[in-house]
Amino acid sequence: MTASPMTSQKPADLVVIGAGPAGLAAAALAAGHGIRTLLLDEQPAPGGQIYRGVTRTPIGDPRVLGPDYRRGQDLVAAFESSGAKRVVGASVWSLTRDAEAGLEIGYSVAGAGTLIQAPRVILATGAMERPFPIPGWTLPGVMGAGAAQTLLKTSALVPDGPLVLAGTGPLLWLLAVQYVRAGVSIGAILDTTPRANWRAALPHMAGFVRSSYAIKGLKQLREARSKVRVISQVTGLRALGSDRIEAVAFRRGDGAEERMPAATLLLHQGVIPNPNLASAAGCAQDWNPDQLCWMPRTDVWNASTVDGVWIAGDGAGIGGAIAAEHQGRLAAVAALSAMGVLDGAGQDREAAPIRKALAGATRGRRFLDALYRPADQFRVPEDDTLVCRCEEVTAGQLREAVRLGCTGPNQTKTFLRCGMGPCQGRLCGTTVTELIAAERRVPASEVGHYRLRPPIKPITLAELAAVSKDDIPAVAAER
């Protein structure tokens, strides 16, 4: 891989990382105020994951992906006319804060690294699918439902049969409806939502029925159920096969064991903030017991605990695409105020309509969180299930390590190499925290999370060696 020498420069007054709804909205608002704004994004086209490929999807029939998806086109258009600059295909591998130099961002495009100084940064790095550790989940042919949706949006690819969807949460039903409309045959949807969740969700029903999710969600459920066999209260789910998935086995709500052939199994049980960049930058995180995930600590302006860094969108806690937009705008307003572009009164004036819209967009979320809370057995798996896919560490090995005195995720690295593979603990981190907490019978907040350090994406030694000495970033920010 060739690498050009890295240079440290200050190309913008505000750098936004991530071109999903939060990042696009934040960058457009800031640039609209005349601020030199730079958007860095990993993908070749804007949209993030929720609006992935929105400007160039090969799917012609608008019914398949639905009207919510097309909202992304407006966001992209507003961004493109705002005057903000962008770098596409930019993989950000570090964000550090140095007392003298301020914030510094390291990123690579096609193997060439660059370091830039950034007075203010908005992180809009979005969400990832929650891990769904079941026996056999590493077999080829088992994928995330979100992953399959990405293939649909960007390449119009759909699975050959027999196809099984399993799990819980709005995205699972949305994908099922998109497949039905595209003429894809689904063998079954295995619904893992525990019946008891309804009891917990009921007190939040009033907010939900007034939300935009209610009618839309019920319509999707009805459409999917009318076309596909849905099996409720599924437990004991496992993927079977030797070199790839061949079948799915599970227990139905009535207690009967069932097995069905599957060439593709798509798993989903919600999304969680993608934690790595914020965590490696030293932003404090708290365990959210309702959403069952680590969340960066942010104030009412979406400011993180690191000076000059705001976090907006699902990366700051799951609120959905519309809430992400508004959070991005709030963070941008706060950044403008910090730069002196807006005074205190101007900040509040700009923020008022955004806050109102944000409140509307988050209405109904507590109901969804409670209803689609993933079952304990699919978050804290049995002993024979792999937790760390990279280093192939099982739940049983982790429990044994806890019995030997391992108290938290960072120790599992030394005990078992758990979380030390190429994904750097992205995928197993939540499971490891919850499993250790369950085994120690303490809250997850007491167990803690993986300590992450830059680079958060693998980069070659050649890229690193090309940094001149003056440009080496401060390692490890405030923590």
Partner 1 sequence: MFHRLPVPDGETVSFTIDGTPAEARVGDTVAAALLVNGVPHCRTTPVSGSPRGPYCMMGVCFDCLVTIDGVGNRQACQERVAPGMRVATQMGSRELDR
Distance CA 299, CA 25 (A): 19
CB-wise, 148 or 342, nearer to partner 1?
Answer: 148
In the complex, least distance from residue 444 CB atom to partner 1, rounded to whole angstroms? 21
Gyration radius of the chain over CA positions: 22
Identity (one letter) of the amino acid at 214?
A: A
- What SS3 state is found at 377? helix
Q: What angle do CA 361, 366, 368 make, to 5 degrees?
A: 90
The H-or-E segment that residue 444 falls in is helix 444-447
CB-wise, 361 or 386, nearer to partner 1?
Answer: 386
In the complex, least distance from residue 37 CB atom to partner 1, rounded to whole angstroms? 24
Cα–Cα distances (Å) from 85 to 17, 77, 124, in that order, read: 12, 13, 16
HSE at residue 472, side-chain half, CA atoms within 13 A, is 6
Distance CA 154, CA 253 (A): 36
Task: Name every residue whose Cβ is closer than 8 Å to that of residue 425 and which is 6 or more positions away in sequence.
Answer: 388, 409, 418, 419, 432, 450, 452
Distance CA 245, CA 239 (A): 6
CB-wise, 28 or 271, nearer to partner 1?
Answer: 271
Per-residue HEC secondary structure of 318-363 comes to CCCHHHHHHHHHHHHHHHHHHCCCCCHHHHHHHHHHHHHHHHHHHC
CB-wise, 63 or 479, nearer to partner 1?
Answer: 63
Site residues for partner 1 per CB under 8 A: 1, 42, 44, 49, 53, 56, 58-60, 91, 128-129, 138-144, 146-148, 150-151, 154-160, 182-183, 243-244, 263-264, 274, 389-392, 421-423, 426-427, 458
CB-wise, 40 or 427, nearer to partner 1?
Answer: 427
In the complex, least distance from residue 132 CB atom to partner 1, rounded to whole angstroms? 10
CB-wise, 4 or 138, nearer to partner 1?
Answer: 138
In the complex, least distance from residue 353 CB atom to partner 1, rounded to whole angstroms? 32
CB-wise, 434 or 439, nearer to partner 1?
Answer: 434
In the complex, least distance from residue 38 CB atom to partner 1, rounded to whole angstroms? 21
Please state the length of the chain.
479
In the complex, least distance from residue 150 CB atom to partner 1, rounded to whole angstroms? 4
In the complex, least distance from residue 76 CB atom to partner 1, rounded to whole angstroms? 16
CB-wise, 154 or 220, nearer to partner 1?
Answer: 154
Q: Which among 411, 410, 416, 417 has a CA at the least distance from the CA of 453?
A: 410
In the complex, least distance from residue 192 CB atom to partner 1, rounded to whole angstroms? 18
In the complex, least distance from residue 446 CB atom to partner 1, rounded to whole angstroms? 26
Going edge to edge, which strands form the sheet with 247-251? 235-240, 247-251, 257-261
CB-wise, 156 or 205, nearer to partner 1?
Answer: 156
Identity (one letter) of the amino acid at 279?
A: S
Distance CA 294, CA 286 (A): 6
Tokens representing residue 56 in the block: 């160039």
- Residue 353 — φ and ψ, nearest 5°? -65, -30
CB-wise, 369 or 391, nearer to partner 1?
Answer: 391
Q: Which among 154, 201, 153 has a CA at the least distance from the CA of 174?
A: 153
In the complex, least distance from residue 276 CB atom to partner 1, rounded to whole angstroms? 9
